[in-house]
Structure 1
Amino acid sequence: MDLRSGRLKGKMEKEVADFTSSLGFDVRIFQADIRCNQAHTTMLMEQEIIPLEIGKKILKALKELEKEGIEALKLDSAVEDIHMAVENYVTSKIGPDAGFMHTAKSRNDQVATDLKIALKEEINSIKKDLLLFIQIIIQMAEKYVDTVMVGYTHLQHAQPTTFAHHLLSHAQALKRDYERIHDSYNRMDFCPLGSAALTTTSFPINRERTAELLGFKGPMENSIDGVSSRDFIAETVFALTMLGTTLSKISEELIIWSSYEFQMVELGDEFSSTSSIMPQKKNPDVAEIVRAKTALLNGELVTILTIIKSLPQSYNRDLQEVTPHLWKATDTLHSTLNITREMLASAEFNGVRGEELARANFSAATELADLMVREGKLPFRTAHQIVGRAVSIALDKGMRAEDMDAQFLDEISQEISGNPLKIDEKIVNKALDPVEIIKSRKVVGGPAPDIVKDSIKDLKKFVDESISS
């Protein structure tokens, strides 16, 4: 069928046809387009808008196409898009009566509906894999509840924590990523079909019925919005970009922690490579590629936003160019999500090295200042000054944190505040022990083992509820 044979004179040049064709990426909505036509035709039959026998022939032809697959369409750029290719196939099977399939429907509302159907399926797959990632982290956290490490701010030693506590920080970020994706799914779950070109139709269609047949919550409430809005794509890609940021941060840490300087993580060999010239090397190549690939998501998001930002209502052909960036984003995210999950699962954490780093470089300093507030009744700023001076002197003398004692702290306190602290030696020693510090952090969200176990329990509940919903 040649749409130009009516209003337009002459055929489109092949170069122009290739330039404007969307067939290259329409393959992603092939199955969705069949479903869309099946639902619409079923509704037309039920509403007695088209003859029952013709509707049955259309549905039969669509069923045959579904079984034969996209290869049966023999796609060519002379056909503008997948919608015309499907209609041409049905026409080849039943003749001109295939034209009834397009009654009260436009390619404008059809493509918007197809995109939502296909994207919903993609999101459900990503959500499933994301929940699996959270489960993997939960299992790892259970293994490392008591494994000490140092926490960082500005990539400098900050305070003692555990590998489990640190891992769960990523699990919580992934949980929010899941919720963002889930929210975008819920907002897109309304059907554009029936909007037609932009102002619906004079035929007595039943939009609630087609929405039901296609698994949507209901129809979109404004037909102009139905054919022109692509914010559901921008919002989804934003959610995927944020998830990609989480994956990049995880990969960045694995790169740093697996270095000789840190020695906190050993990655599985299957996620590493060696050098072509330096045989001793074990390079974290997969983590580096994840770090780079997730940057592509930022570009896809900006491109999508730039395309849609200045379009007048309602449908414009520019919207066609949004679609390939959507699928590039989903494909990139899905592959990096799964590879990062498996890479992290392969990692072995070095608890001995973790505790060594936690005991080095005065990571207990904050607890020592807190001790002076509790036991010495000092204002925190005064305690902060005393401990800061103590660390400075200790570094000059080559002392370690465990070399500090009550007398050493009394001397500095006397100098700064005019009074000694007079804190018991045993209490000072306890405040300098990373294991004891971690145990004392019993506030919600903290690294104390019991608190971490509660966090794990809450995450397990979230995963179970999300799977069952």
Structure 2
Amino acid sequence: MNLRSGRLKGKMSHEAASFNSSLEFDKRIFEADIELNTAHTTMLAKQGIIPEKTATNILKALKDLKEEGIEALDLDLSVEDIHMAVENYVTSKIGEEAGYMHTAKSRNDQVATDLRLVLKKEIKIIGLNILNFIEEIINMADEHKETIFVGYTHLQHAQPTTFAHHLLAYANALRRDYERLMDAYKRVDMNPLGSAALTTTSFPIDREMTTELLGFSRIMENSIDGVSSRDFIAETVFSLSMLTSTFSKICEELINWSTYEFGVVEIAYEYSSTSSIMPQKKNPDIAELARAKSAILTGELMTIMTILKALPYSYNKDLQEITPHLWNAVDNAKSILSIMHGMLSTITLNKERASELAKSNFATATELADILVREKNMPFRTAHKIVGRMVTVALDDNVSIDNIDLKFLDSISQELFDKPLDLEEDLIRKALDPLENVRSRKVIGGSSPEATQNAILSLRTFLEDESDKNGF
């Protein structure tokens, strides 16, 4: 079918046709377009808008096309998009009555609907994979509730924690990424079909029927908005960008931790490579690539936002250019998610090195200050000053944490406040012990085994609830 034969004179140049065509990335919405045309034709027949026999012929041709697959279509550049390719196929099977299929709809509402149908499925796939990844992280955390690890701020030793506690930071960040994405799903799950070009139609269509047939939760209530809105794409890509940003941060830590200087983690051989010249190298290439590829999502989001900026209502061809950026973002997010799941779940943790780091560089100093507050009833800032000076003197005099005792602390207090602390030796030892530090953090969100177990149970409940709600 040649749409130009009515209004326009002559053919589009080959260069212009190629520039105008969306066929390459329209392949993604092929099955959705068949689904849409099936629902729309069914509705047209039920409403008495087109003859029943014609509808039957159209539906039979659409069914045949679905079985034959996209290879059955003529995807020559003279065909602008997948919608015309599908219509041309039906026309080749049943003749001119195929034209009834386009009654009361436009390519404007058709493409908007197709995009939403496909994106809904993609979001559900990604959502399920995020939940599976969270479950894997929870299972890892369950095994490391007493595995001592050092926590960092400013990439400097801060306080002792456990590897489980650190893993659960990943799990909770991914939970928010999941929730953000599933919240965006609500805006995707809206039906623009029936908006037609921009003002709906004078035919008595039943939008509730097509909404139900296509599995949307609600109808878009303004037809201009229906054909021109792509905020659902921007919101989805933003959610995916935040998801891959989480992955990027995890990669950064795995890369650091796998260095000789940290020596805490070994990335599996399956996710490593070597040097072309240095035979000793085991490089974290996959983590580095995943870290870099997260930037693709940010770039695609900025491109989409820039295209959308200042577009007049309603439909403009500019919107066509958003689609390839959407699918590139979706595909990269899925790829990074899959590789992260495999890579993180197969790391090897060096527990001895982790414990050594947690004990070194006075990471337990905060607890000693807290002990002074509790036992000596002094203001925290006073305790902070005493312990801070203690660390400075110990480092200057090369005194290890194992050699910090009451005599050493009293000398610091005497210097600063002209009086000893008279603290029990046992309290000092417990305060400076990483495991005792961890066990004392029992509040919600803390690093103690009990607090960690409660966090794991909470996340497991979340996973069960989401699986039940979404039919995963």
| TM-score between both structures, scaled by the size of structure 1 | 0.99
Q: Would you say the 8 A contact 2:119–2:188 is kept in 1?
A: no
Q: Which residue of structure 2 aligns with residue 451 of structure 1?
A: 451
CA distance in 2, matches of 1:438, 1:146: 8
Conserved 8 A contact 1:145-1:164: yes
CA distance in 1, matches of 2:359, 2:124: 45
1:330 corresponding residue in structure 2 = 330
Deviation of 1:417 after TM superposition, in Å, equals 2.7
Per-residue deviation, 1:124: 0.8
1:221-236 matches, cutoff 5 A: 221-236=221-236
C-alpha displacement at 1:256, in angstroms? Answer: 0.6
Letter in 2 for 1:206: D
Corresponding residue number in structure 1 for 2:351:
351
Distance 1:350 1:468 in 2: 37
How far has the Cα of 1:413 moved from its partner?
A: 1.5
Higher mean displacement: 24-33 or 411-420: 411-420
The CA distance in 1 between the partners of 2:295 and 2:403, in whole Å, is 46
Q: How does 1:146-161 map to 2 (within 5 A)?
A: 146-161=146-161
| Equivalent residue runs for 1:51-70 within 5 Å | 51-70=51-70
3-state SS of paired residue (1:6): helix
Distance in 2 of aligned mates of 1:238 and 1:81? 27
- Structure 2: unaligned runs, 5 residues or longer: none
Report if the CA contact (8 A) 2:358-2:434 is conserved: yes
Aligned to 2:246: 246
Tell me how far apart the structure 2 counterparts of residues 198 and 418 of structure 1 sit (CA, whole Å): 83
Instruction: Work out the percentage of aligned pairs sharing the same amino acid.
Output: 63
Q: Distance in 1 between matches of 2:312 and 2:209?
A: 30
In the aligned structure 2, how far is the partner of 1:40 from the partner of 1:418? Answer: 88
1:120 aligns with 2:109: no
**Pairs within 5 Å for 1:41-440:** 41-440=41-440
Q: Could you report, residue by residue, the CA deviation over 1:157-201 in whole angstroms, capped at 9, with x for unpaired residues?
A: 000000000000000000000000100001221100000001111
| Equivalent-residue separation in structure 1 for 2:387 and 2:146 (angstroms) | 27
For the residue of structure 1 that corresponds to 2:7, the secondary structure is coil
Alpha-carbon distance, 1:86 to partner: 0.3
Give the superposition deviation at 1:74: 2.3
Aligned letter for 1:296? I
Counterparts of 1:343 and 1:417 in 2: how far apart (Å)? 53
Q: Which runs of 4+ in 1 moved over 4 A?
A: none
1:81 to partner: Cα distance: 0.4
Query: Matches of 2:138 and 2:413 in 1, distance apart?
Result: 44
- Measure the CA separation in 1 of the matches of 2:43 and 2:445: 53
**Distance (whole Å) between structure 1 residues aligned to residue 115 and residue 417 of structure 2:** 69
CA displacement, residues 328-355 of structure 1 (integer Å, 9 cap, x when unaligned): 0000010010001100011011111111
Secondary structure of the residue that 2:151 maps to in structure 1?
Answer: strand
Cα distance in 2 between the residues matched to 1:127 and 1:135: 12
Between the aligned partners of 2:464 and 2:417, the Cα distance in structure 1 is: 55
Q: Write the letter of the residue equivalent to 2:258.
A: S
- What is the Cα-based RMSD across aligned positions, in Å? 0.7
CA distance in 1, matches of 2:97, 2:212: 26
CA contact (8 A) 1:240 1:297 kept: yes
SS at match of 2:421: coil
Deviations 1:286-326 (A, max 9, x none): 10110111111110000000000110000000000000000
Please tell me the residue identity of whatever aligns with 1:78.
Answer: S
Q: Distance in 1 between matches of 2:232 and 2:420?
A: 64
The within-5 A match list for 1:17-36 is 17-36=17-36
Q: Secondary structure at the match of 1:12?
A: coil
- Mapped to 1, the partners of 2:430 and 2:395 lie a distance apart of 21
Q: Counterpart of 1:49 in structure 2: which amino acid? A: I
Deviation at 1:402, TM superposition (A): 2.0
SS at match of 1:323: helix
Is the deviation greater in 76-85 or in 403-412? 403-412
Q: CA offset at residue 414 of structure 1?
A: 2.2
**1:117 Cα deviation after fit:** 0.3
Q: Structure 2: how far apart are the matches of 1:81 and 1:189?
A: 23
Q: Is the 8 A contact 1:43 1:209 kept in 2?
A: yes
Number of aligned pairs? 469
1:148 touches 1:354 (CA, 8 Å); kept in 2? yes
String of CA shifts for 1:128-184, please: whole Å, max 9, x gaps.
111110011011001111100100001100000000000000000000000001000
Q: Which amino acid aligns with 1:326?
A: L
Deviation at 1:422, TM superposition (A): 1.3
Task: Name the SS for the 1:158 alignment partner.
Answer: strand
Amino acid at match of 2:377: K
Counterpart Cα distance in 1 of 2:106 and 2:358: 65
Give, in whole Å, the separation in 1 of the partners of 2:385 and 2:427. Answer: 20
Query: Are 1:460 and 2:460 an aligned pair?
Result: yes
Give a deviation string over 1:192-224, Cα, whole Å, max 9, x none: 000000111111101011011000012101111
The answer to whether the 8 Å contact 1:382/1:417 transfers is no
What is the letter of the counterpart of residue 248 of structure 2?
S
Letter in 2 for 1:235: E
For residues 445 and 320 of structure 2, what CA distance do their matches in structure 1 show? 46
- Separation in 2, partners of 1:398, 1:414: 20
- State whether residues 116 and 188 of structure 1, in contact with CA within 8 Å, keep that contact through their aligned partners in structure 2: yes
Note the C-alpha offset of 1:407. 1.7
Cα displacement string for residues 223-265 of structure 1 (whole angstroms, at most 9, x for unaligned residues): 1100000000000000000000011111111111011011111
3-state SS in 1 of match to 2:384: helix
Conservation of the 8 A alpha-carbon contact between 1:200 and 1:223: yes
1:436 partner letter:
E
What does 1:1-40 align with in structure 2 at a 5 Å threshold? 1-40=1-40
For the 8 Å contact 1:90–1:98, the answer to whether it is kept is: yes
3-state SS of paired residue (1:152) = strand
